[in-house]
Amino acid sequence: MNEEKKYFDAFIKSYLFSLKYLQDFISAPASDYKISFDQYLILHEIKEATGDLTLMEIASRHRVSRSAISRQISSLMDRGFVIQKIDSNDRRRKILQLTAEGNNVEGKLLEAGLERAHDWLKIFGANKLSDVLKFIDDFSTEVISKEETYFSDRINDKKNKS
């Protein structure tokens, strides 16, 4: 039990002094454009998509409700970064596309992200960064995704707040 307490205390310390600020740190460049990091990820996914991409596909990838992703995309549309086009083969389907401005913003934020990644590589080296990313991926696979109610509760909480 002492070993578990040691690791739990270390987690609490990491959370208090690092993890809870990580999202703010990562989101900082996007905030210059008055968008969240999640909204940047939507821009990036649309730009990188090899085929048509819909709101529902993005909601599924992000493991959030349709209404949650709809709010994010509506905000991007209001800012003039994204448009929806009706699929000519299925008029019920709306395809997401970047505007010229959305493409420009995504490019600038990608560049800022790559600069940060370059700095992290200089500080920590590729092996250490790879180990951290592998741990996060393993934790998601082995712990979070196996928590049966985690994602369903998360989606339901967001629906109830709407």
Contact 30, 40 (CB under 8 A): yes
Contact 81, 98 (CB under 8 A): yes
Q: How do the pLDDT tens digits run along the chain, 162 residues long?
A: 789 999 999 989 888 888 878 878 888 899 899 999 999 999 999 999 999 999 999 999 988 899 999 999 999 999 999 999 998 888 888 999 999 999 999 999 999 999 999 999 999 999 999 999 999 889 888 888 777 666 555 545 555 554
Q: Note the pLDDT of residue 87.
A: 84
The one-letter amino acid code at 31 reads S
Can you list the pairs that 68-76 forms with residues at least 24 positions away whose Cβ atoms lie under 8 Å? 68/155, 68/158, 68/159, 68/162, 69/42, 72/36, 72/38, 72/39, 72/42, 73/42, 75/35, 75/39, 76/35, 76/39, 76/42, 76/43, 76/102
In 3D space, the residue among 110, 135, 113 whose CA is nearest the CA of residue 19 turns out to be 135
Q: Note the pLDDT of residue 156.
A: 53
Number of helices and strands (H, E) in the chain?
Answer: 7, 2
The pTM for the full model equals 0.79
Domain residue extents for the chain: 2-161
Backbone conformation region of residue 78, classed left if phi is above 0, alpha if psi is from -120 to 50, else beta: alpha
Q: Note the pLDDT of residue 154.
A: 57
Q: Note the pLDDT of residue 1.
A: 73
End-to-end CA, the chain: 41
Q: Note the pLDDT of residue 129.
A: 92
Provide the CATH topology of domain 2-161: Arc Repressor Mutant, subunit A (1.10.10)
